[in-house]
Structure formats: structure tokens, C-alpha cells
């Protein structure tokens, strides 16, 4: 069976339109799973890599520090303002 160049080009374009978004989404999902949360310093609040033993901001030991909380809504405005 012989495929004309125009048909081949159309098939390649269709394949690219379908495959590229799938590859991009899969790559983004893989990257997000590889990034563990950092450790927040109790002394200065700096976020450090999970493997850090000391804070990069203030030098305090990070033993037993919990990961930083997920970002949430900002602080509420005081009443009467």
C-alpha cells in the first residue's frame, strides 16, 4: 500500500496534535511528584530543602521541623477597618 505525501503529512499533524499535550501533562505530573516540600525554619520562617540540617537563612538546626503548611487564604482584615 502506497501513502501519498499529503496523507502522510496529515497523519503526522494529527498525531502531533494528540500526542504533544499528553506528553506535556505527563511530564508536569512527574515533575510535581519529584518535588518534596521543604522544611520551614521555626526561628526565621525560611523554607529549606528537605535534606537540609541547618537553616539557610539563620543557621539554626532544623531537626524535627515539620514541612511548611500549604498556602491558604491571607490574613483576615481587622474588624472595623
Beta-sheet pairing, 39-40 with 47-48:
antiparallel
Tell me the pLDDT tens digit for each residue of 7-59: 989 988 888 888 778 777 877 776 655 555 788 888 898 888 888 889 999 99
Assign 42 to helix, strand or coil. Answer: coil
Query: Is the separation of the CB atoms in 64 and 41 below 8 Å?
Result: no
Which of 36, 55, 35 minimizes the C-alpha distance to 45? 55
Residue whose grid cell is 525554619: 41
C-alpha to C-alpha distances, 66 to 44, 49, 51, 61, nearest whole angstrom: 14, 12, 13, 13
Tens of pLDDT, residues 56-76: 999 999 876 455 556 666 566
Amino acid at each position: 500500500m502506497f501513502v501519498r505525501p499529503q496523507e502522510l503529512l496529515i497523519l503526522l499533524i494529527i498525531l502531533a496534535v494528540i500526542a504533544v499535550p499528553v506528553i506535556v501533562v505527563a511530564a508536569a505530573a512527574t515533575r510535581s511528584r519529584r518535588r518534596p516540600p521543604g522544611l520551614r525554619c521555626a526561628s526565621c520562617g525560611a523554607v529549606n530543602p528537605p535534606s537540609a540540617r541547618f537553616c539557610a537563612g539563620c543557621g539554626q538546626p532544623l531537626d524535627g521541623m515539620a514541612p511548611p503548611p500549604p498556602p491558604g487564604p491571607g490574613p483576615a482584615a481587622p474588624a472595623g477597618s
